[in-house]
Amino acid sequence: MIKIIIKSFFFFKIKSFLFFLLKNIKKKYKIIGPFYMPKKIEKFTLLVSPHVDKNARDQIQIKYFKVFFFIKNFDLNLINFLFKNRNIDGLLLNYLFL
């Protein structure tokens, strides 16, 4: 069984990659998921003018999106397909072989 974890700052990139991936491998392999994890939000406060005005601040937030799914039965063709399509801009792909 393979667990594929997809992380990104952009939810649309995750959705488009999932559509591409599941369209190509859903016919031959048994897929469990996808499971959407809650988005993780990190908030930062930056001092704009640290010398005089301590009240002049900017607030920034970064959102992380995470999706994972399982593939039950796999073969060498699937592994070659996954590793060939692993370098996609804006996505971080992790493969766990269980």
* Tens-place pLDDT, residues 29-66: 888 888 999 999 999 998 887 777 778 888 999 999 99
Rounded to whole angstroms, the maximal C-alpha distance in the chain is: 65
Give percent of the chain with pLDDT exceeding 90: 29
Contacts of 33 (CB under 8 A, 6+ apart): 67, 68, 69, 70
Kindly indicate whether the domain formed by 2-97 is annotated with CATH number 3.30.70.600: yes
Q: How is the chain split into domains, by residue range?
A: 2-97
pTM: 0.77
Closest C-alpha to 17, from 27, 7, 3? 7
Tokens at 69, concatenated: 């799914």
